[in-house]
A and B are shown apart, each in its own frame.
Chain A
Amino acid sequence: MLLNINNLHVSINEKEIIKGLNFSVNKGEVHAIMGPNGTGKSTLAAAVTGREGYEVTKGEIIYKGQIINDWQPDKRANEGIFLSFQYPIEIPGVNMINFMRTAVNAQREYKGLPAMSASEFLKKTEKEKKLVEINSKLTNRSVNEGFSGGEKKKNEIFQMAMLEPQLAILDETDSGLDIDALKVVAKGVNKLRSKNNAFIIITHYQRLLDYIEPDFVHVMYNGRIVKSGGKGLAHELEEHGYDWIKKQFDD
């Protein structure tokens, strides 16, 4: 099992957002997590990646057999957990390619590998840029600065391809994307899908799942996963909305 979450409780500023969540992911699987706004989907992503301010008050996050509750975010990243940000962060003055090179080499250092040679890095960069259809104009800019919404999301997938994670969490990567960008992102993900990695796709809409076919669909509501099923569940949600779920669990 790649990821196993047991009875997870997460609070932000002492307000409990996730209230006893159980969830597990095996290698080779794609899980979609859906649900209305404010039910704790992004909080789950933040807790798994170790973002400051998201306090795990109870329960365990077990990744590759180890409890990672106390791990620093960079350790989790180095161990193969990747987050595609809902709102990618701008870092003025830091060139995107240099940033990526620092990232790739930090990961290699963690694994005890020598730094990637310039030519090797360049080759990989070119390959992955093609995958998400972004050009050098973009990667020569500062990290996420002056990127359009779509470019930012493609850039997240580019970084994912560069870092080759074992567990990738896509936090509303589809929001704000037009259909073309959506297809590019989906293509990227599908290309990176393998027996050895897994994806958690957080989304409001069925739309992205038309292009990335999930093995499992979960519905999150009020800090818990309240319903799980196959991809049919996503269609059901698309058709009926979330009201029937709300009704069922508000009582």
Chain B
Amino acid sequence: MSDNNDRNQVINELTTSEYKYGFVSDIETDQAPKGLSEKTIQFISAKKNEPEWLLEFRLKAYRHWLTVKEPDWALLHHPPIDYQDIIYYSAPKAKKKLQNLDEVDPDLIDTFNKLGISLEEQKHLSGIAVDAVIDSVSVKTTFQETLAKHDIIFCSFSDAVKHHPDLVKKYLGKVVPYTDNYFAALNSAVFSDGSFCYIPKGVRCPIELSTYFRINAANTGQFERTLLIACEGSYVSYLEGCTAPMRDKNQLHAAIVEIFTMDNAEVKYSTVQNWYPGNKEGKGGIYNFVTKRGLCKGHHSKISWTQVETGSAITWKYPSCILKGDFSVGEFYSVAVTNNYQQADTGTKMIHLGKNTKSTIISKGISAGKSNNSYRGMVRISKNADNARNFSQCDSLLLGNQCGAHTFPYIKSGNDTAIIEHEATTSKISDDQLFYCQQRCIGKEKAIGLIVNGYAKQVLNKLPMEYAMEARKLLAITLEGSVG
């Protein structure tokens, strides 16, 4: 009969399953020397042939960064990060300008194949345009023709700087200024590349836009920058997914995502985050400090964040919405899973400025192993935001008795007409549920996957189909057997 020992053994065996995507591809890189200084920034800017104004932007951000301190309010513990021990720029060496997939470095193609996102396949099968980012430089962009037909711009950030400098200049740093926080300043100083997306007035993007990020060279921080603009009456569903190779040393990742929606525009932004979480002793793994924010600028505009966070040693991330336009809508759907020694401090901010604005927050935290999982969320209703409405539901699920779940909701209401609802629950996978599954022939590991997926269903349902399937698998893989 099963007992505690047996159970602990199952936990140990299964929570320690090796990271599936742990491999390193050997591609020649062209990288900046270690460390951060004005010189590094000039090197990056020069490498990318950037205009003067962008270099100025970077330098201002850097000078600001020097004056601020790393935030310490999150429930996260890690050894101090040595910012001078990081390589801030690394790009695959392109031998010449690539015209088609055949010319892409075969090792790179191989890397994609291992990840199961072969561009070849993507091109033929999926109806998703993939802007694949390996070590900071966009290598290949597909589906440009379909997008061009609708005048949609979807390209690497560097290309946008070259070809659409006015748009970049107009929106860069406008919703996440470099003064926003420590990591935003860092990113603004050293960001390497990322994606740019512009949906013109009245256009409903016919395909789901997808970017796969991947950290590749050793000791290289990844500083992505995404800028997404949805003009009046437009719609786009944007997917972001990450995997990273196994690393012995912690890797710093500080990304920024900025979204703008104009009148009646809607952006659906989905993330599946599966960076290397470190090994079972908590060694290695990605430090993921991300600033994501959207501005619902126009009336009746909408931004919806959906995230499935299973990776990273440390996750610090609060995708937020500023609801400026009247009748604008912000949504945040999140599943965050932590196992072993992973730490996640994640949530959202919903800032209600406009009248009749509405926000929904559904957060599902799942903790296993010796991990810590915190929800931190803020709902703020400003003085003029008449009839604002918020509904928040924050659930925590514990697997085992060595992990932690925490909820930090902050609510500030400056308007009497606001209606704010907050619900929170904490539960454990019950022995009864497990026994019931086992009595129906379903093994323990599979049973946990089943129960957890049921628990997270409300959020998973918000993901586009193909992503939902990937996410389900990820949840099961991450949590197999981790119960006690």
Contact = CB atoms under 8 A, between A and B. Distances in A.
B17 interface: no
B25 interface: no
A55 B438 CA distance: 18
Given A85-B436, A99-B440, A163-B441, A93 B458 contact: yes
Given A106-B442, A110-B441, A99 B1 contact: no
A22 interface: no
A121 B454 CA distance: 21
A52 interface: yes
Interface stretch (A27-35, A70-78, A180-188, A194-202): A70-78
A181 to B, nearest CB: 21
Given A50-B1, A50-B2, A89 B436 contact: yes
A102 B430 CA distance: 19
Given A52-B431, A89-B432, A93-B457, A77 B438 contact: yes
A142 interface: yes
22 contacts: A50-B1, A50-B2, A50-B438, A55-B1, A72-B444, A73-B438, A74-B442, A77-B438, A78-B441, A85-B439, A89-B433, A91-B433, A93-B455, A93-B456, A94-B453, A94-B454, A103-B441, A104-B441, A106-B442, A142-B454, A163-B440, A163-B441
A91 B448 CA distance: 11
Given A77-B439, A163-B440, A92 B454 contact: yes
B218 interface: no
A94 B441 contact: no
A143 B441 CA distance: 15
Interface in A76-108: 77-78, 82-83, 85, 88-94, 99-100, 102-104, 106-107
Contacts of A143: 436
Interface string A45-61: 00001111111100000
Contacts of A83: 439
A52 B455 contact: no
Contacts of B446: 102, 106
Interface in B439-471: 439-444, 446, 450-451, 453-458
Nearest to B454: A93
A70 B439 CA distance: 15
A139 interface: no
A51 B441 contact: no
B54 to A, nearest CB: 47
Interface in B389-443: 430-433, 435-443
B431 A74 contact: no
A106 B443 contact: yes
Contacts of B454: 91-94, 142
A125 interface: no
Contacts of B432: 89
B438 A94 contact: no
A91 B450 contact: yes
Nearest to B1: A50
Contacts of B438: 50, 72-74, 77
Given A52-B435, A91-B436, A69 B441 contact: no
A107 B243 CA distance: 34
A52 B2 contact: yes
Contacts of A203: none
**Chain A to chain B: the 5 pairs with minimum beta-carbon distance, closest first:** A93-B454, A94-B454, A93-B457, A73-B438, A89-B436
B52 interface: no
Given A74-B441, A77-B441, A93-B454, A69 B1 contact: yes
A94 B3 contact: no
Contact of B455 (A73, A90, A92): A92
Interface in A130-149: 142-143
Given A73-B438, A99-B440, A100-B440, 10 more contacts: A52-B1, A74-B437, A74-B442, A78-B441, A89-B432, A91-B436, A91-B451, A94-B454, A106-B441, A107-B441
B258 to A, nearest CB: 34
A59 to B, nearest CB: 13
Given A51-B435, A88-B436, A102 B442 contact: yes
A43 interface: no
B75 to A, nearest CB: 27
A74 to B, nearest CB: 4
A154 to B, nearest CB: 16
A104 B453 CA distance: 19
Contacts of A53: 431
A166 interface: no
Contacts of B3: 52
B450 A99 contact: yes
Nearest to A145: B454
The residue in B1, B432, B444, B458 that gathers the most chain A C-beta atoms within 10 A of its C-beta is: B1
A72 B435 CA distance: 10
A130 B430 CA distance: 32
Contact of A94 (B435, B443, B444, B451): B451
